[in-house]
Structure formats: C-alpha cells, structure tokens
Amino acid sequence: MVSSVLKAISVGAVAALAGIVAATLGIIAIFLFAIFGALVGAITGWIVSMAPIIGPLVTDGFRSFGVSSPSLPAIGAALGFVAGFFKSSGSGRN
C-alpha cells in the first residue's frame, strides 16, 4: 500500500513538472512569435519605404493621422510585434 502511494505521488510530481515545462515553453513560444512578427514587420516596412510610389503615399497617410515623422520600419516592427501575439487557429467557419 505504501509503495503504491509513493508511486502515485511520484507520477503526480512528474506530471506536474511536465505541465510546468509545457506552460513555460508555450509562453516562450508566444514571445518568440511576437519577436519574429516584429522582424517581419520591420523588413516589410523597409521594403514599403523603398517603393517609389507606395512609400511616400503611406508616409503621407501616417502624417495625415498626426504622426510627425513616420518611420515605416519602426511602425512595421510595432505592428508586427502586436500581431505576433495573435495566432490563427486554422479552423474557421465559412
């Protein structure tokens, strides 16, 4: 009886430790996705700023909203960071 109780306690401790590790890895993954989103957003903002027609058009659009000196890579990085926290489940209803 005592050995089965100790075995149950050790199995429960391993399961709890596995849950803690899984939760920690999930939180780290969320922040890695956000950092990756910031990187992609910055690269995309830089590409848009280099485009001859779209770059000035987007920059003027941000100026019309009150942004005094818009940096498209910085804006892209900020938007990519925020968007990195949102993940599609891939099972949407149509």
pLDDT of res. 91: 59
Q: Is residue 94 part of a domain?
A: no
Yes or no: say if 51 and 76 are a contact pair by the CB < 8 Å rule.
no
Q: Is residue 19 part of a domain?
A: yes
pLDDT of res. 88: 61
pLDDT of res. 36: 92
SS3 at position 71: coil
Low-confidence ranges of the chain (pLDDT < 70): 1-9, 87-94
Q: Is residue 29 part of a domain?
A: yes
pTM of the model: 0.70
CA pair distance 44, 18, nearest whole angstrom: 38
pLDDT of res. 87: 67
Cα–Cα nearest to 87, from 6, 1, 29, 20:
29
Q: Is residue 73 part of a domain?
A: yes
For 22, the domain range is 2-83
